[in-house]
Amino acid sequence: MGEKLICNNKKAFHDYFIEEKFEAGMVLKGTEVKSLRLGKGNLNDSFALVREGEVFLHNLHISPYAFGNRENHDPERMRKLLLHKAEINRLYGKIREKGYSVVPLRLYFKNGCIKVELGLAKGKKLYDKREDLKKKDQKREMAVALKERNK
């Protein structure tokens, strides 16, 4: 059946070095799933924390379902992530080290289930961000030069 992207977090790749990726399921309510099927999710400024052996996703915004009633969900509620115990222990060990955090990279459907891709990230300094922008500009200039040369 494949994967269908709901939303991704482009800012995470700009602000962090992604060292490792994990795939996790999420505990959701019915109206949240219906809203995500309409593409109403936003990963900006969201992060994951490990508490008491469980991983929770904070600041994931899922817009309220338009046709929901009073049982509609809170858009900014904390959501539990489903990971294997070994993965949770690995994340917890890395998070305790200085400078590491867990950020969601993308939210997608996989075989009918909603999954979130988490990245074990280390923050970039300002000069790292500038260097990335320079590399991006150089690639763009090379592509334009190649296109002009092939005409």
Instruction: Of 12, 23, 21, give the one whose Cα is nearest residue 110.
Output: 23
The Cα angle at residue 99 between residues 94 and 104, in degrees rounded to 5: 70
> Which residues, listed in sequence order, are joined to residue 107 by a DSSP beta bridge?
7, 116
Mean pLDDT, rounded, of the chain: 85
**Residue 84: band (very low, low, confident or very high) from pLDDT cuts 50, 70, 90:** very high
At 103, list the tokens.
């950020």
Extents of the domains making up the chain: 3-124
Average pLDDT over residues 92-110: 86
pTM comes to 0.74
Predicted local distance difference test score (pLDDT) of residue 104: 92
CB of 6 within 8 A of CB of 36?
yes
CATH code of the domain made up of 3-124:
2.40.280.10
Average pLDDT over residues 101-115: 89
pLDDT in tens, 12-59: 887 888 888 989 999 888 888 888 888 888 888 888 888 888 989 998
